A and B are shown apart, each in its own frame.
Chain A
Amino acid sequence: MSAVIENHHDDHHHGPDKGLMRWVLTTNHKDIGTLYLWFSFMMFLVGGCMALVIRAELFQPGLQLVVPEFFNQMTTMHGLIMVFGAVMPAFVGLANWLVPMMIGAPDMALPRMNNYSFWILPFAFGMLLSTLFMEGGAPNFGWTFYAPLSTEYAPPSVTFFIFAVHLMGISSIMGSINVIVTILNLRAPGMRLMDMPLFVWTWLITAYLLIAVMPVLAGVVTMMLMDIHFGTAFFNAGGGGDPVLFQHVFWFFGHPEVYIMILPAFGIVSAIIPTFARKKLFGYDSMVYATASIAFLSFIVWAHHMFTVGMPIAGELYFMYATMLIAVPTGVKVFNWVATMWQGSMTFETPMLFAIAFVILFTIGGLSGLMLAIVPADFQYHDTYFVVAHFHYVLVPGSIFSIMAAAYYWLPKWTGNMYDETLGKTHFWLSFVGVNVTFFPQHFIGLAGMPRRYPDYALQFADWNMVSSVGAFLFGFSQLLFLFIVIKCIRGGKQATDEVWDGAEGLEWTVESPAPYHTFSTPPALPERSLA
Chain B
Amino acid sequence: MTIQTSKSKTTLKLFGVVLGMFVFGFALVPLYDIYCQVTGANGKTGGAYVASEAFEVDEERQVTVQFLTNNNANMPWEFRPTVRSMQVKPGQMYDTTFFASNIARTTMTAQAIPSVAPFHAAEYFHKTECFCFEQQQLASGEVIDMPLRFIIDPHLPASVKTLTLSYTLFDITDIAATGAAE
Binding site for B on A (CB under 8 A): 109-110, 153, 173, 177, 180-181, 184-186, 211-216, 218-220, 223, 230-234, 236-240, 242, 244-245, 248-249, 252, 310-312, 315
Contact = CB atoms under 8 A, between A and B. Distances in A.
Interface of B: 3, 6-7, 10-11, 14-15, 17-19, 21-22, 24-26, 28-29, 32, 36, 39, 41-43, 72-73, 111, 113, 119-120, 168, 170-172, 174-175, 178-182
Nearest to A238: B170
A237 B170 contact: yes
Given A181-B14, A218-B22, A310-B43, 8 more contacts: A177-B15, A231-B174, A236-B170, A238-B175, A242-B36, A242-B42, A245-B28, A312-B41
B10 A185 contact: yes
B10 A238 contact: no
Given A177-B15, A211-B18, A216-B22, A252 B28 contact: yes
Contacts, number: 109
A110 B7 contact: yes
B10 A233 contact: no
A218 B21 CA distance: 10
B29 A181 contact: no
Contact of B181 (A109, A239, A311): A239
Contact of A245 (B7, B14, B32, B168): B32
A218 B18 CA distance: 10
Given A211-B18, A231-B180, A237 B168 contact: yes
Contacts of A249: 25, 28-29
Contact of B11 (A181, A218, A236): A181
Contacts of B41: 311-312, 315
Most buried by A among B7, B17, B21, B73: B21
Nearest to A234: B29
A252 B28 CA distance: 10
15 contacts: A177-B15, A180-B14, A181-B14, A211-B14, A215-B25, A218-B25, A223-B29, A231-B174, A237-B72, A237-B113, A238-B171, A238-B175, A249-B29, A252-B25, A312-B120
A185 B42 contact: no
Given A186-B3, A219-B26, A312-B39, A238 B72 contact: yes
